Structure formats: C-alpha cells, structure tokens
Amino acid sequence: MLTKDLSVTFCGVKFPNPFCLSSSPVGNCYDMCAKAYDSGWGGIVFKTIGFFIANEVSPRFDHLTKEDTGFIGFKNMEQIAEHPLAENLAAIRQLKQDYPDKVLIASIMGENEQQWQDLAKLVEEAGADMIECNFSCPQMTSHAMGSDVGQSPELVEKYCRAVKHGSSLPMLAKMTPNIGDMCEVALAAKRGGADGIATINTVKSITNIDLNRKIGMPVVNGKSSVSGYSGKAVKPIALRFIQQLRTHPDLKDFPISGIGGIETWEDAAEFLLLGAATLQVTTGIMQYGYRIVEDMISGLSHYLNDQGFDSLDEMIGLANHNIVPAEDLDRSYIVYPHINQEKCVGCGRCYISCYDGGHQAMEWNEETRAPHCNTEKCVGCLLCGHVCPVACISLGEITFKPGEKAHAVVL
C-alpha cells in the first residue's frame, strides 16, 4: 500500500495524518478512542464534555436511504457526554499517556463564561492537545447551549475569550450550519481568540414521518423532535461553508477543520481542495467502522502521488480560484448531450425526465426504444445525463449562442 507523508501542522499542532474522529458517540470513552488510534486515525475530538450531564432519549437515531444502499442521511438526538466529567477527564489523561504521538482534542460546552473557562483549564490539565468549543449542537435541552449560542456572534466571541482565559491551548470554534452567513460568527470567534474553525455540525432536520401514527421519527414515547442531520447528504452544505470561510478576505488564512459527510478519500480531497486542513468523521464510521481510515489514507496518498504533490499543504484551497460568482460564469455556449446508443438500454428515463421536467428536447422512438436529442429545443442542461442509470449520456458538441464569438472552452 502506497503511503505518503500525510502529516499536517494545524493551529501549531502536528497531526500524523488529517483524519480525525469528530465529537460524537464514536469517540466517547477510552476503549473506543484507543481502537481508533490503533486503526490509524491521526486525531480524535473527544465527545463534548461539560458540567451538564446529558439525560438521553431512547431510541435516538433515524436515517434516510436511497434504494438498496446504505443510508445517505442520518438523524441523531445525541447531546453531550453521558459520563460524569471526572470520568471523561480521566479518559483524556489516560489516552495521552498511552498515545503521546496522537492528537487529542477536547470538545467542551458550558452554560456561562465561568463554566467555559473552568472546562478549558480542566482539559488542559488532563493533557489535551487542543480545545474545540461546541457552539453548534442543534438538540441541546438548554437554550444556553449548542446551536443557539452558535447563531450569536456576541456569545461566541464572549465564550471564546473565556476559554482563552482558562487555557493556553490552541482553540477551535465549532460552527453551526443552521445560519445564513457563517462568516460573521467565525469573525467573532477570531476576535475572541479562536485559533481556527471546525465546520460543520449537524443540520436541524425532520427526516421521516410515520404516516399511520402521524409521528416524526424516531418515536420517543409517542413524540419526536427536530434534531441534527449528518452523513453524505450534508457534504454539499459543508463544502459551501468551507469555501465561504476560506475565501473571505479576513478569514482566508484562518485554519479550518472540515466536517460533514466524509466517507472516502475522494470526499477528503474535496474538503482539502476547498481549504480544510484537517478532517473529522462520524457518520461514515457508524456505517463502516474505524477501518475506513485505511482506505482514506491509501487513496489520498495515491492522489498526492498522481498529482505530483509532496505534501497536503500544497493542495489545500487550490480549487477556490475556480469557484466564482454566478454572474462571472461563461454563458456564451450550449453543450448538447452525446448519447452512446450501443450502451443505451432503452429504459426511457432520459425522455421522461426531459419531457416532464426539462425542455421536451429528448425525442423517443417507440419501435427502437432509442432516444434522440432535438438540438432546436435542447438548452444543454444535461438533466438527461444525470438520470441515466447506465451513464450512456455524456457531454457532446459545443455550440456558441447567436452573436457569441467562438473561443476555447474547458469542460
């Protein structure tokens, strides 16, 4: 297995590789964290601890699936750690003794400035390498905690200052995606002394409704509630926020730990190319186990080798210069679909999608069960290619719109 040096220095702390457990049930005790380290994970964000002890519901999970695949989206009602604070601190202390070369980040959550300051001091004394301030859990039972805080720049700045008064460790502010513009809150965290940003936490959601009982899922004694949504389905949301943060003129050099739907090395590379320097995973581990880090390390190593990169630092943020405002996109041409008739299975999905949901440009021969694109109607949206189950429709001829001058086009 090809392995390149995937080490990265993040907020002054050296990680053996960028792959970390995010603060969640996958890293809530010594035994689980030890197994993750032994499996090759470069760092762990220990499940959020505080003076508040969570009283959890049962059951507490729900999911969305696509046909016969594993779940694409996952809902949870977890709060912070259920174990007493002293037990969590003991686990942090033991993990750093047994795995001194691995990175351990303590996730904390307080209800007021004094609690944030005291928790920061306690986790530093226990041996944590960094602190992550959880300003973003969407299902806390106290309105003084979680994503309610993360939507307030004033509170985020105030609590970051409190953490800095309690500890000298590098500190991350974990952002909520349940907000329109994350930059305002990230700037407040920076003013408060944060050394970087972790984003995103879960998205407020209702995943399913039991149609017979008219109850949301999961059902807790006949009721349900809005809570956090994660997994592959939130990756586009996470990537958008990371791009927004990385390209803000006052945040462009502010370190980012990327979270949200990372399951493969390809996912990891996308986050890195948009500006994340470390990567956090939970839902992928819940589906496939800690072992997925082996494939992510191997795949990312091959990618770096194939691209000619000597280190992760060389690729971080490289894709952002190709993400431009919508008004700057080239609108001078149309790309018509090319249909590989030999590969086509005659299912008709392209015809149905175009006729009922596009521009009625895809024509259909009932006898041969073959589609044909009418370029006089086609606008080049390529909906047909996205619904084709056998990938027989690809980008085809480029035609420039009337009055437009032909030029080189990158597809």
Higher-pLDDT residue of 367, 51: 367
Confidence of residue 170 (pLDDT cuts 50, 70, 90): very high
Tell me the C-alpha to C-alpha distance, in Å, between residue 61 and each of 176, 232, 235. Answer: 20, 16, 19
**Cα dihedral 337, 341, 346, 349 in deg (nearest 10):** -10
- Report how far residue 119's alpha carbon sits from residue 167's, in angstroms, rounded to the nearest whole number: 9
Q: Where are the domains of the chain?
A: 8-322, 330-400
Q: Where in 285-361 does DSSP place strands (E)?
A: 333-339
Handedness of CA 33, 105, 258, 83 (dihedral sign): positive
Which carries the bigger pLDDT value, residue 353 or residue 76?
353
Question: For residue 139, what pLDDT is reported?
Answer: 56
In this model, does residue 61 exceed pLDDT 70? Answer: no
Q: Rounded to an integer, what distance in angstroms lies between the CA atom of residue 157 and that of residue 190?
A: 8
In the set 137, 354, 373, 392, the catalytic residue is 137
pLDDT, mean over the chain:
92
Q: Provide the 10 A C-beta neighbour count for residue 182.
A: 22
137 given a catalytic annotation: yes
pTM: 0.92
Tens of pLDDT, residue by residue over 121-156, are 999 999 999 999 999 765 554 566 656 788 899 999
Asked whether the domain spanning 330-400 has the same topology as the one spanning 8-322, the reply is: no
The least confident of 13-27, 210-224, 256-270, 308-322 is 210-224
What's the average model confidence in pLDDT over 321-349? Answer: 96
Cα distances (Å, whole numbers) of residue 13 to 10, 123, 166, 392? 5, 16, 19, 48
CATH tag, 8-322: 3.20.20.70
CATH 3.30.70.20 fits domain 330-400: yes
> Strand 362-365 vs strand 370-373: parallel, antiparallel, or unpaired?
antiparallel
pLDDT for the residue 63: 65
Q: Which stretch of 133-147, 184-198, 317-331 has the lowest confidence by average pLDDT? A: 133-147
